């Protein structure tokens, strides 16, 4: 099992699709277009911050359980980085301390249950590291109206907070093997760039197999 991680707009869905195709395996995608809360959150984060994080936590818990039992798959985001988004919502006053404590207790319970499954953690976590300008360009390109930063909605500050926090999150991730890919450097729609990236992924996976062996 491979899980992707990274900022909004880093390219996780594209990478997930291409990795799954190369490995002839099952991709698991984050539910965005079907999410009934996401658009409301962007319009009113103070009202919908906690509900959104609970929604995502529930969906990701379901996906990662399915992925653990259905061998050989790729998730375009995982439960492991959810707490980062929740913490920033607390810092911004969108989620109360009491809600945050409830969220962490629920997350701990879920992580304990995951530890009882046949596979204890992903075989590889791939973090897409990208410059802030690269992220903003991708957000603009995909054209979701509710994601576009304006002077009024404060999303630029929110994205900057996430971008700053992700580096520390990657360094602290310790659930299993991990790989950082410079998303600025590679255009994976080009075959040469993609092959370079996929070679890195295969090398990391092969090292894990050798360690287990």
CA dihedral sign, ordered 143, 149, 155, 156: positive
Cα separation, 100 vs 53, in Å, equals: 10
Cα separation, 180 vs 128, in Å, equals: 6
Catalytic residues: 76
Helix count and strand count (H, E) for the chain: 8, 5
Cα separation, 54 vs 82, in Å, equals: 10
Helices (H), 70-126: 82-91, 97-114
Cα separation, 122 vs 1, in Å, equals: 5
């Amino acid at each position: 099992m491979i899980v992707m991680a990274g900022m909004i707009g880093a390219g996780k869905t594209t990478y997930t699709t291409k990795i799954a195709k190369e490995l002839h395996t099952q991709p698991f995608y984050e539910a965005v277009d079907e999410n009934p809360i996401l658009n409301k959150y962007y319009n009113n984060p103070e009202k919908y911050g906690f509900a959104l994080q609970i929604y995502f936590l529930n969906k990701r818990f379901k996906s990662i359980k399915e992925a653990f039992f259905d061998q050989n798959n790729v998730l375009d985001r995982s439960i492991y980085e959810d707490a980062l988004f929740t913490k920033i919502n607390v810092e911004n006053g969108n989620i109360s301390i009491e809600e945050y404590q409830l969220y962490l207790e629920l997350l701990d319970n879920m992580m304990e249950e995951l530890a009882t499954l046949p596979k204890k953690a992903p075989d590889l976590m791939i973090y897409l590291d990208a410059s802030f300008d690269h992220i903003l360009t991708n957000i603009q390109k995909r054209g979701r109206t509710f994601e576009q930063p304006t002077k009024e909605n404060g999303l630029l500050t929110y994205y900057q907070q996430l971008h700053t926090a992700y580096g520390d999150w990657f360094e602290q991730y310790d659930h299993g093997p991990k790989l950082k890919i410079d998303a600025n450097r590679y255009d994976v729609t080009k075959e040469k760039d993609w092959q370079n990236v996929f070679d890195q992924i295969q090398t990391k996976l092969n090292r894990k197999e050798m360690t287990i062996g």
